Amino acid sequence: MRASGAGARPGQAETGLPAERGLPAERGLPADTPGQADAADPAGGAGQAKASDDVFTELTGQGSVVAELRQAAAAAADVLSGRAGQRAGGMAHAWLLTGPPGSGRSVAARAFAAALLCPAQGCGSCPSCRQVRAGSHPDLMLVRPDGLSYGVKQTRDLVLHAATAPAAGRWHVVLFEDADRATEAAANALLKAIEEPAPRTVWLLCAPSAEDLPATIRSRCRLIVLRTPSSAEVADVLVRRDGVDPQRALAAARAAQGHIGRAHRLATDADAARRREEVLRIPLAVTGLGPALTAAASLVSAAEEEARAVTEERDQPERDALRQAFGEGSTGKGVAKAVRGAAGALRELEDRQKSRATRAKRDTLEVALLDLAWFYRDVLAVQLGAQVELGNVGREADLRKLAEATTPESTVRRIEAIMTCRERVALNVAPLLAVEEMTLTLLPG
Ligand SMILES: [Zn+2]
């Protein structure tokens, strides 16, 4: 687990990595980080800041969520100024933000954190807001599992640290980006903290859905539900923010199924788009046993390739930052000690990077499987004559060909096999085995 912000001050983070905050990796996440340029909240509610350029403007298509978070930030400010209880809703110490991958739940959580920590409730331009954006605010602990889950020891350390007084005198905000990845023991430690919250601590948990957390935690959080933005909303962001051609933006948005970060990648990264094309060639290519096994192998290797591209981008800068933090070129008697410390920290970093790579591989394979399932969902829509927006723009001919050659029942069976494969990969079944079994169900008949 990694904690940046206050948790990453030298000697405080359990990793002992002084240089963790502000790493390029922190900003380079594919999933949720790309800013979103849509101010879809004309009401603005209680916010003092202008709705056009404050911290909430990065949320796409989440008008009611933005209104609720503004209201909550105002209520939190009331608490600080001793006017508590005046405002509807009041202040909660634990929040659970849910939404499908890519809907922007961690963007929403960060915006809310900024609003809590900013004297003007999230102006977007003051030093506090800028520190939140950079991930270096002393009172914001940004926590994500680097491996597959959060452990109990790390969670206990975090709970202890979060109970201390906030440095800037407002709130201590702890943001868990994938709270659903907490182990049971870690969840119990977290539950204790939420049951008896320190007066100035606010917990922000992010998860795909409320059901992903134990009921005991869920019931103590105020729930914020983000919806999947429409293809048009996602495309609009790509056009206005990234200057993507409108037609290309819409195709990417539909292909990404409402996942803004993935849509951005598909529209702007030729390799990502090519890998997706390869995945979508599978349904028509699987004509016999040989092609089915080849398809499985290429699906797994495409996922590994993409995972490598994503992790390598992050690994080297982290290693460089670590070396720098341990004083490359320093002199005096501290050097020997620093060298010993650096060796240990480097080993730890490599372990974390390795488990992150495993996770990335699994995540990218999952994306490929969802692309494939989405393709068959379109086939089914054609077979049933359903009036829905097709996800696979430009592949209508393939869709029709398969729709005519197979039955809706067999399409449903294939979608189920893909989803089963996805579950098995999540359960740590060897990816190639699980995928081979799945591609065999794609054979004609
Ligand atoms: Zn501000």
pLDDT in tens, 207-237: 988 988 899 999 999 999 998 888 999 999 8
Is the confidence at residue 140, as pLDDT, over 50?
Answer: yes
Percent pLDDT > 70 in the chain is: 81
| Ligand 1 mean position, distance from CA 63 (Å) | 20
**What does pLDDT average to over the chain?**
80
Rounded to whole angstroms, the Cα distance separating 225 from 99 reads 6
Under a CB-based contact definition with an 8 Å cutoff, are residues 164 and 172 in contact?
yes
Q: What is the pLDDT of residues 252-297, one digit of tens each?
A: 999 988 888 889 989 999 988 888 888 999 999 999 999 999 999 9
pLDDT band of residue 203 (cuts 50, 70, 90) is very high
Output the pTM of the full model. 0.66
pLDDT at 366: 87
Under a CB-based contact definition with an 8 Å cutoff, are residues 76 and 117 in contact?
no
| Ligand 1 mean position, distance from CA 126 (Å) | 4
Strands 201-207 and 94-98: parallel
pLDDT band of residue 416 (cuts 50, 70, 90) is very high
The Cα-based distances of 27 to 22, 34, 132 in angstroms read 8, 9, 12
Is the confidence at residue 36, as pLDDT, over 70?
Answer: no
Under a CB-based contact definition with an 8 Å cutoff, are residues 187 and 214 in contact?
yes
- Among residues 177, 235, 245, 168, the alpha carbon closest in space to that of 200 is found at 168
| Ligand 1 mean position, distance from CA 202 (Å) | 18
Q: What is the pLDDT of residues 290-342, one digit of tens each?
A: 999 999 999 998 888 878 877 787 788 777 777 776 665 555 556 666 666 67
| Ligand 1 mean position, distance from CA 47 (Å) | 12
pLDDT band of residue 52 (cuts 50, 70, 90) is low
Q: What is the pLDDT of residues 141-194, one digit of tens each?
A: 888 765 556 777 777 777 777 778 888 889 999 998 888 887 777 888 888 888
| Ligand 1 mean position, distance from CA 67 (Å) | 17
Under a CB-based contact definition with an 8 Å cutoff, are residues 1 and 150 in contact?
yes
| Ligand 1 mean position, distance from CA 276 (Å) | 40
